[in-house]
C-alpha cells in the first residue's frame, strides 16, 4: 500500500491588501483631525487666560460684597489686572498675564458696589480663542 504524503492545504491568517489600505486611510484621517485640534496652543492659551481673568474678576466682586466699607476697583489693561481697595493695590496685584500667557485683553475698569454690581462690559481676548470675557451689570464675570 502506498501512502500518499499529500497534506491538506494550511489556512493562513492574514490581512488583505484592502483591509490594510482602509486602516491606513483611517489613521491618516485621525492624524489630520488631531493635528488641526491640537496643533495650535494659542486657542488653549487664550481660553486659559480668559478663565483666569474671570476667576480674578469674581474674586474682586466677592471682595466688594464682603467688605462693604471699602471701594473695590478692578482695572484690566492689555496684559494685566489690578484690584484696588480704597485706592491701594491688593497683595499680589497687579497680576501680569503676560508672564504666563501670550495673549492680551481689551481694557476696562470696574468699580463694584456693595451688592457686587458694576458696568456691563465684554472684554475681547487676542489672539482670538473663540471666547471673550463678559461681565454683566450684576457684576457676574463669565466666558462668552
pLDDT of residue 13: 75
CATH at residue 61: 3.55.40.10
In-domain check, residue 15: no
pLDDT of residue 46: 87
User: Residue 82: CA atoms inside 13 Å, Cβ hemisphere, count?
Assistant: 13
Q: How many domains does the chain have?
A: 1
Q: Can you read off the three cell numbers belonging to residue 9?
A: 492545504
pLDDT of residue 59: 95
61: pLDDT strictly greater than 90 = yes
Predicted confidence (pLDDT) per residue in 86-125, tens digit:
999 999 999 999 888 889 999 999 999 999 999 999 999 9
In-domain check, residue 29: no
For the residues of 1-55, what is the DSSP string, one character each? -PPP-PPPPPP-----HHHHHHHHHHHHHHHHHHHHHHS-SHHHHHHHHHHHHHH
pLDDT of residue 38: 64
pLDDT of residue 7: 72
pLDDT of residue 51: 94
The residue range of the domain holding 52 is: 42-143
143: pLDDT strictly greater than 70 = yes
15: pLDDT strictly greater than 90 = no
In-domain check, residue 36: no
In-domain check, residue 88: yes
pLDDT of residue 42: 62
Q: Name the pLDDT band for 41 (thresholds 50, 70, 90).
A: low
Amino acid at each position: 500500500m502506498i501512502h500518499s504524503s499529500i497534506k491538506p492545504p494550511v489556512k493562513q491568517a492574514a490581512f488583505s491588501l484592502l483591509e490594510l489600505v482602509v486602516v491606513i486611510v483611517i489613521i491618516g484621517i485621525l492624524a489630520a483631525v488631531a493635528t488641526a485640534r491640537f496643533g495650535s496652543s494659542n486657542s488653549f492659551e487664550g481660553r486659559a487666560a480668559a478663565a483666569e481673568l474671570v476667576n480674578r474678576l469674581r474674586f474682586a466682586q466677592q471682595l466688594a460684597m464682603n467688605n462693604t466699607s471699602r471701594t473695590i476697583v478692578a482695572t484690566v489693561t492689555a496684559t494685566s489686572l489690578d484690584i484696588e481697595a480704597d485706592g491701594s493695590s491688593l497683595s499680589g496685584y497687579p497680576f501680569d498675564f503676560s508672564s504666563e500667557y501670550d495673549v492680551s485683553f481689551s481694557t476696562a475698569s470696574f468699580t463694584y458696589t456693595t451688592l457686587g454690581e458694576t458696568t456691563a462690559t465684554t472684554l475681547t481676548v487676542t489672539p482670538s480663542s473663540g471666547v471673550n470675557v463678559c461681565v454683566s451689570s450684576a457684576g457676574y464675570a463669565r466666558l462668552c
